[in-house]
Amino acid sequence: MAERLQSRLIAHGALVFLVGLLAGFPFAFFELGKIALWPIPGSIEVSLPGDVRGWRMAHLEGVLNGITLIAVAGVGRDMSLTRRTQLIVFWSLLLTGWGNMIASIIGPVFGSRGLTFGGGIANSLMYLLFMAAVVAVIVAMVVAVLGAWRAAR
């Protein structure tokens, strides 16, 4: 994989990871039942949108998708990929990482799950983003496997 594509994929992976870490704050606040401002004693009672399940998912989606982007970028030069297949892997993984991250934040904010199309704009948008991410990650991984096998010969 070209150095520029690798660097961009690492940067996007780090950003997706960071957004996932930030989504961990509402997750922690729901688990605690309050917003604790350590080291300041006490806590602030605030009403946050969503639920613990939704924010846990948003947190994990960001962390895991960010790691995936960084990992594939890290081994990108060990795969035998043409310029076209490099771009397919790159754009597919970007769609996967950001699609999953955005969809998983929409969920708790708007009280949606995105498991089926319909049921409101937020739910339909989540569903479309998740489905696009599923197709994109399968494409990216098939191309990556073929590129790795080609390089192993």
Distance CA(70)–CA(21), nearest Å, equals 15
Instruction: Report, as an integer, the average pLDDT of 7-22.
Output: 97
Amino acid letter at 107?
A: G
Tokens at 45, concatenated: 């009672």
**In terms of pLDDT, which residue wins out, 49 or 143?**
143
pLDDT, tens digit (0-9, with 9 covering 90-100), for 64-103? 999 999 999 999 999 999 999 999 999 999 999 999 999 9
* pTM of the complete model: 0.87
Tokens at 51, concatenated: 């639920």
Q: Is 144 exposed, middle or buried (0-12, 13-18, 19+ CB in 10 A)?
A: buried
Distance CA(75)–CA(88), nearest Å, equals 16
pLDDT, residue 111, reads 87
43 has pLDDT over 80 = no
49 has pLDDT over 90 = no
Query: pLDDT band at 114, cuts 50/70/90?
Result: confident
Instruction: Report, as an integer, the average pLDDT of 17-41.
Output: 78
Tokens at 64, concatenated: 């895991």
Q: Which residues contact 97 (CB under 8 A, 6 or more apart)?
A: 12, 13, 16, 65, 66, 68, 69
pLDDT, residue 96, reads 98
- Give the CA distances from residue 35 to residues 30, 32, 38, in Å, rounded to whole numbers and listed in that order: 8, 7, 9
